[in-house]
Chains A and B, each alone.
Chain A
Amino acid sequence: MIYRESGQFKTSYQNDSVIFPIKQDRMFIFALLALAALVVPMFASEYMLSGILIPFLVLSLAALGLNILTGYAGLLSLGSAAFMAVGAFATYNFLVRVPGMPLLLALVLGGLCAAAVGILFGLPSLRIKGFYLAAATLAAQFFVEWVLTKFSWFTNHSASGVISSPPLEVFGIALDTPVSKYLFTLAVVVVLALAAKNLVRSSTGRAWMAVRDMDVAAEVIGIPILKTKLLAFAISSFYFGIAGALYAFILLGTVDAQAFDLHRSFQILFMIIIGGVGSILGSFLGAAFIVLLPIVLNLLGQLLHGIVSTQFLSNLEMMIFGGLIIFFLIVEPLGLAKMWQITKEKLRLWPFPH
Chain B
Amino acid sequence: MNPNRKIGDVILKAENISMSFGGVKALTNISLEVREHEVLSIIGPNGAGKSSMLNVINGVYHPQEGKVTYKGRTRDKMEPHLAAKQGIARTFQNIALFKGMSVLDNIMTGRNLKMHTNFLQQAWYWGRTQREEIKNRKVVEEIIDFLEIQHVRKTPVGRLPYGLQKRVELGRALAAEPTLLLLDEPMAGMNVEEKQDMCRFILDVNDEFGTTIVLIEHDMGVVMDISDRVVVLDYGKKIGDGIPEEVRQNPAVIAAYLGTSH
Contact = CB atoms under 8 A, between A and B. Distances in A.
Given A220-B58, A222-B81, A222-B85, A202 B125 contact: yes
A13 B122 contact: no
A221 interface: yes
A267 interface: no
B92 to A, nearest CB: 7
A13 B109 contact: no
Nearest to A235: B119
Interface residues of A, number: 32
A213 interface: yes
Interface string B74-94: 000000110111000110100
B113 interface: yes
A207 B114 CA distance: 13
Nearest to B96: A217
Contacts of B38: none
Contacts of A278: 100
Interface of A is mostly: helix
B101 A213 contact: yes
B134 interface: yes
Nearest to B100: A213
Q: Which of B98, B105, B124 has the most C-beta atoms of chain A within 10 angstroms of its own C-beta?
A: B98
Nearest to A17: B133
Contacts of A205: 122
Contacts of B123: 195-196, 198-199
Interface residues of B, number: 38
B112 A207 contact: yes
Given A198-B124, A222-B113, A206 B108 contact: yes
Nearest to B114: A203
Interface string A175-206: 00000000000000000000110110111111
Contacts of B163: none
B134 A220 contact: no
Contacts of B124: 195, 198
Contact of A199 (B60, B122, B134): B122
Contacts, number: 107
B172 A209 contact: no
Contacts of B97: 213-214, 217
Contacts of B110: 221
B115 A220 contact: no
Q: Which of A12, A17, A205, A222 has the most C-beta atoms of chain B within 10 angstroms of its own C-beta?
A: A222
A202 B122 contact: yes
Given A210-B109, A217-B92, A220-B90, A204 B84 contact: no
B130 interface: yes
A306 to B, nearest CB: 51
B80 A220 contact: yes
Contacts of A88: none
B109 A207 contact: yes
Contacts of B117: 202-203
13 contacts: A17-B130, A196-B123, A198-B125, A202-B115, A202-B125, A202-B129, A203-B117, A209-B105, A212-B100, A213-B99, A214-B99, A220-B58, A220-B80
Interface of B: 58, 60, 80-81, 83-85, 89-90, 92, 96-101, 105, 108-110, 112-113, 115, 117, 119, 122-125, 129-130, 133-134, 137-138, 141, 172, 176
| Top-8 shortest CB links A-B | A222-B84, A213-B98, A198-B125, A217-B96, A195-B123, A202-B122, A203-B115, A222-B113
